[in-house]
């Protein structure tokens, strides 16, 4: 199975595919079998059994995903949260402490702030763009540092180079949620990260029709994470694996269009008199612009903005646009729009939201792959109606 391909586009199509093809099938079939004939496997984790993440559908995805990020290994999981929780519970043991970026995806934030203490784990939130402040937060029991490629919903970029360097210098495991960037825009292993985590529900699958996750990174960590996953049970169903495998093949094409649409829409919004603020790392006015240019190959498909006006005006705008579907999540072929204060960040107190810069009027857009001009025209009519 393991041939080396140079470019990401070729890896998406060919990496991890079986050679020879199974019964000549061009598309990897779905192995809808819970168990497989015993063929002398020595260890529990190698027994061919569906929960042990080693059916042909799992194995092919592991190889393809590792190749995409130029990492040694990967494991797929039942959801993004299964990837994140299993990775964290592998890296950390009772009594350990972790440094975490202060602006996290809501599910991760809840896991850390609500569940960690039941497992004897401690955390300190750090500012992702202030490396000078991190050393003072390290404790004797600090084991890891955890950040996100782009923060949600304000699309800021932490000093990711400094995170990987800081982890190395202090013997910490560096972990990054790379969901918002996708391997097309950012490949953490190339910058020295130990582990990259994904909600494959988003860009990797790209069609808003499954839930899945992945951990990609150093082989020794991935092996430990796979064993923990086998115990915790968050394995990916072969049917979802098949859809993820199919969706991945067009990742480069989709993300290129997501990037292009989001940049053009961000530029249109930034120039419109009805718009107060636009948050997108691809705008030269963004604080994250220089860092994003250095680290990323594209700025991603998600942007946020505020209209001049109150919540009622933001809601009215969302009713007027025709193409975006008002729904949470991101990374699909269709444009989705939400007001984070009522969806992804509704669990945060109003005071915490305000402190994080998430106003009640903020609108987040996951820009799809529709024609750029149709999207811009739709936003224009809704702004000017
Ligand atoms: N990480 C990020 C950045 C996300 O946006 C999400 C979901 O929205 C997750 C992780 C969790 O993924 P899942 O819903 O697949 O469990």
**Mean predicted confidence (pLDDT) in 303-326:** 97
Residue 306 lies inside a defined structural domain of this protein: yes
Statement to judge: residues 273 and 258 lie in one domain: yes
- pLDDT over 90 at 163, yes or no: yes
Contact 301, 331 (CB under 8 A): yes
Statement to judge: residues 289 and 187 lie in one domain: no
**What is the distance in A from the centroid of ligand 1 to the CA of 282?**
22
Statement to judge: residues 84 and 177 lie in one domain: yes
The answer, yes or no, to whether any atom of ligand 1 lies below 6 A from the CB of 79, is yes
**What is the distance in A from the centroid of ligand 1 to the CA of 347?**
15
Q: Using alpha carbons only, what angle is made at residue 232 by residues 228 and 238, rounded to the nearest 5 degrees? A: 95
Residue 122 lies inside a defined structural domain of this protein: yes
What pLDDT shows up at residue 73? 98
What pLDDT shows up at residue 174? 99
Residue 1 lies inside a defined structural domain of this protein: no
Statement to judge: residues 220 and 71 lie in one domain: yes
Which domain covers residue 340, as residue numbers?
252-384
**Percent of the chain clearing pLDDT 70 (strictly above):** 99
**341: CATH:** 3.90.1150.10
φ and ψ at residue 56, rounded to 5 degrees: -55, -30
**Mean predicted confidence (pLDDT) in 177-202:** 98
What pLDDT shows up at residue 335? 98
Statement to judge: residues 256 and 241 lie in one domain: no
The answer, yes or no, to whether any atom of ligand 1 lies below 6 A from the CB of 196, is no
Residue 76 lies inside a defined structural domain of this protein: yes
- pLDDT over 60 at 369, yes or no: yes
Residue 107 lies inside a defined structural domain of this protein: yes
- pLDDT over 50 at 1, yes or no: no
The answer, yes or no, to whether any atom of ligand 1 lies below 6 A from the CB of 177, is yes
Statement to judge: residues 179 and 298 lie in one domain: no
- pLDDT over 80 at 385, yes or no: yes
Statement to judge: residues 158 and 288 lie in one domain: no
- pLDDT over 60 at 175, yes or no: yes
Cα separation, 271 vs 215, in Å, equals 39
Ligand 1, atom 13: closest residue by C-alpha: 80
Segment 89-101, tens digit of pLDDT? 999 999 999 999 9
**Mean predicted confidence (pLDDT) in 296-320:** 97
Statement to judge: residues 232 and 263 lie in one domain: no
The residues pairing with 195 across neighbouring beta strands, listed in sequence order, are 175, 217
Segment 246-267, tens digit of pLDDT? 999 999 999 999 999 999 999 9
Confidence of residue 318 (pLDDT cuts 50, 70, 90): very high
Q: Indicate which residue of 187, 202, 226, 254 is catalytic.
A: 202
Q: Catalytic site residue 105?
A: yes
Segment 9-60, tens digit of pLDDT? 999 999 999 999 999 999 999 999 999 999 999 999 999 999 999 999 999 9
Confidence of residue 355 (pLDDT cuts 50, 70, 90): confident
The answer, yes or no, to whether any atom of ligand 1 lies below 6 A from the CB of 213, is yes
Range name among 124-133, 219-228, 304-313, 342-351 with the lowest pLDDT average: 342-351
Residue 2 lies inside a defined structural domain of this protein: no
Cα–Cα separations (whole angstroms), residue 358 to 16, 106, 147, 280: 41, 13, 19, 14
Q: Indicate which residue of 177, 203, 291, 339 is catalytic.
A: 177
Statement to judge: residues 100 and 205 lie in one domain: yes
**Total structural domains in the chain?**
2
- Let me know if 372 is exposed, middle or buried by CB neighbors in 10 A (0-12, 13-18, 19+): middle
The answer, yes or no, to whether any atom of ligand 1 lies below 6 A from the CB of 328, is no
Cα–Cα separations (whole angstroms), residue 156 to 114, 259, 272: 25, 16, 22
**What is the distance in A from the centroid of ligand 1 to the CA of 298?**
20
- pLDDT over 90 at 215, yes or no: yes
Statement to judge: residues 229 and 359 lie in one domain: no
**136: CATH:** 3.40.640.10
List of residues 6+ apart from 93 with CB closer than 8 A: none
- pLDDT over 70 at 3, yes or no: no
Average pLDDT of the chain to the nearest whole number: 96
Residue 3 lies inside a defined structural domain of this protein: no
- Which one of 194, 223, 248 terminates a domain? 248
**Mean predicted confidence (pLDDT) in 152-179:** 98
Q: Which of 78, 80, 240 for a ligand 1 pocket mutation test, highest count of atoms within 8 Å of Cβ?
A: 80
- Orientation of helix 56-68 relative to helix 238-248, angle to 10°: 30
Statement to judge: residues 44 and 134 lie in one domain: yes
Q: Catalytic site residue 224?
A: no
Residue 292 lies inside a defined structural domain of this protein: yes
**What is the distance in A from the centroid of ligand 1 to the CA of 105?**
7
Q: Catalytic site residue 202?
A: yes
Statement to judge: residues 260 and 213 lie in one domain: no
- Which one of 248, 279, 312 terminates a domain? 248
- Which one of 192, 214, 248 terminates a domain? 248
């Amino acid at each position: 199975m393991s041939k080396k391909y140079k470019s990401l586009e070729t890896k998406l199509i060919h990496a991890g595919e079986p050679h020879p093809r199974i019964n000549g099938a061009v598309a990897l079939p779905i192995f809808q079998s819970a168990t497989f004939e015993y063929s002398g496997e020595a260890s529990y984790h190698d027994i061919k059994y569906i929960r042990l993440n080693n059916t042909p559908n799992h194995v092919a995805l592991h190889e393809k995903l590792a190749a995409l990020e130029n990492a040694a290994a990967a494991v797929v999981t039942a959801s993004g949260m299964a990837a994140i929780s299993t990775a964290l519970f592998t890296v950390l043991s009772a009594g350990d402490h972790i440094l975490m970026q202060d602006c996290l995806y809501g599910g991760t934030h809840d896991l850390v702030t609500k569940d960690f203490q039941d497992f004897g784990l401690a955390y300190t939130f750090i500012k992702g763009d202030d490396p000078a402040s991190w050393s003072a937060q390290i404790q004797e029991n600090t084991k890891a540092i955890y950040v996100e490629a782009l923060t949600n919903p304000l699309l800021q970029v932490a000093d990711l180079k400094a995170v990987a360097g800081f982890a190395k210098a202090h013997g910490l495991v560096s972990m990054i949620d790379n969901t918002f960037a996708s391997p097309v825009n950012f490949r953490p292993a190339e910058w020295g990260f130990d582990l990259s985590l994904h909600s494959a529900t988003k860009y990797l699958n790209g069609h808003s029709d499954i839930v899945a996750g992945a951990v990609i990174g150093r082989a020794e960590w991935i092996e430990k994470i796979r064993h923990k996953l086998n115990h915790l049970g968050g394995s990916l169903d072969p049917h979802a694996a098949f859809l993820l495998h199919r969706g991945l093949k067009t990742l480069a094409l989709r993300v290129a269009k997501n990037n292009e649409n989001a940049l053009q829409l961000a530029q249109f919004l930034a120039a419109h008199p009805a718009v107060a603020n636009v948050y997108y790392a691809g705008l030269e006015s963004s604080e994250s612009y220089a860092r994003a240019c250095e680290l990323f190959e594209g700025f991603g498909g998600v942007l946020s903005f505020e209209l001049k006006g109150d919540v009622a005006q933001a809601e009215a705008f969302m009713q007027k646009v025709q193409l975006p579907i008002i729904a949470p999540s991101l990374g699909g072929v269709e444009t989705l729009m939400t007001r984070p204060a009522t969806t992804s960040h509704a669990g945060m107190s109003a005071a915490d939201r305000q402190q994080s810069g998430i106003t009640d009027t903020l609108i987040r857009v996951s820009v799809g792959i529709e024609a750029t001009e149709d999207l811009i025209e739709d936003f224009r009519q809704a702004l000017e109606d």
